[in-house]
Structure 1
């Protein structure tokens, strides 16, 4: 049965986890061998330990997940019941016992401890079953919580949409939240823009098989401009930025047009790297957190040390961003007054002023040293931000975007640093140039590009290049 790229990626990830669990199971078996022998009253030396039978690991670690995949262990984890998982695990272990036994007899690969094999088999069964049931419970929780589901817009006639959804397996259909329907034939493209923006749509599924090619192309362009994935059950079309690929939704072939980085091991590595490095930096910079906390309390008493504000995350989804407070307590209330009296150095919806009078003296020092940005690492660890990505903007600035293409910078997670910050930080005054640099980053993203930006950011922070 064919599978989609997202499901294939998930299966590969689970296989890697299970391979590690198989290794851990044999390590535990070797550690428990002596206590079990004593419990059984055995005094004779058992056969070779794990160190002398590494060939078992070379066989069991990679091949156990492959046998499990052949038996369908990784398919439909949300709907798979307990006894089905137990049966698949027992069958897989029987196959592996047969393979190890045959190799031990005919290939004469060395003596194997039956105690290690027996205890290892039990640990494999327990660990893999626990992993499977934890994933099952997690997916059930995601299926109940609307806020954890992917936000999807269905585009087509009601009849086409109903037919498409009816043909989807329940496990797939319940993995996303349909935030609305858009009639491609009757609706206007401006209405589609509004829906994508209002509902923070992540994917649009086009089922408009009877609609004219030109009308569908305009709707796809609207998705392309805002960085929203377009999944099309229709004919192929030309695009300027989005990369066309084929994928599957259930058994239905789909044409996908992406203008954002595609799901890959690189992207998964970025997510893991963000969280691990985020935690590490928080631990290493704890003295700076204390320094900022005490300094703000002394220099600007009577107000919170931390500043939080609703910012636009991926696809415009709001999240609470944290920083050390560097401005007077009523800074946001004074914004319009400051704009009238001092103007705005940045054209477009974003406000920027080199010597903002709302910043108190110690706050200016925190900004100069970029210490005020440290609490955003909490957002990184929570998965709301990345170390590298377009800077998150306040919701009111996002609402003021003049061009729909500007919203495509929202198609990836916002970051603490980005290309323009690493290159000179606060020297840019054109919002269009700022967005252009962000889109260049999105279109050319790679894990290595993130590393280069981070390496450039370190001297920019240490020497205060462009910081004001």
Structure 2
């Protein structure tokens, strides 16, 4: 606020005052800046932007900051109109967007710091898992893979649990059976009980357990048997004393699909126009540096199982397909029997290796997007021989057009295992949204610059 004031009016001594045409009062811009800064800080607290349940993971924190800021300045504008307050519009127009952007940027920086500390085990809830061995093991693996969420599992209680064993291949110690939860909670110092399955605990036992927790310090969490479901699709509704969880089924038609297509057409057309000098330079370099065509066309499987020819700049020797059979055994040895991946593929040309490192070989796919065969963001476009090896549930990825980038691109690219690639593609298809697409686009730039998993 004060930076905006100094930018708009210069030094404090040169500032003017805000006056009301309806009531006889004036207030200096210094006082107004102070008032707005205090109110801004206050409304962020009222909306819970610093709550431990929103910090560190998900988009709720950023959404709350934006919504609270928008409402504050909306109320300010309404009051200024009602009381006919005469103030500088430029001061107001600069302060709101710049201040909101800076708030969001600082939240991003603090989140990076918090995530780093949480990976070291700090600033995290100490979790005691309770349930069947299978459900507890699954939850422990999921939480271990997302330490930035702030849940650190320290012990588990499973039916007929022996205190001398660990939980599966994890390092989580089994501290006792489900009937020992209260004693284990006191002995372990855990502050959060996560119930992963309720077959071993009656409703009355769970209710008594919740009553035994220390208010404000110990918490009870129930983890349903749902995975890879996006937050906006989940709604909790208490009915007759039962906390019912409603999971909306994903929709792939109507306005959202037209909105995505419009975004694809406009974005791909603009990118092709802006990047045309780069495309021409890369095409010339590929043509002069190696023998063979500039572009590589390969049949891929797209929306609803239809096929199309995906365009890329050629990064391999012309007879790359003929050399593939001799290299496939090495890909299987690396733990991926469906996707062929090799870090030091001898078929890649020197210029091709550089193009792949920064994903520049994929720029011609903007033409596929413009023609409607692909989308900017979507599942990875597979080969037909890969599709032939799919399990039946993997075919759900064809409900969306394949994308130039996607969750697989920003989560490790070729370093991902087959199971992880499938999980990310299906998660995207089940939970896609325009806001999520924009987030993936922003993360793609960081992934490309970092060139992790690109080969």
Scaled by the length of structure 1, the TM-score of the pair is: 0.43
Which structure carries more relative contact order (alpha carbon 8 Å, separation 6+)?
A: 1
More helix by share: 1
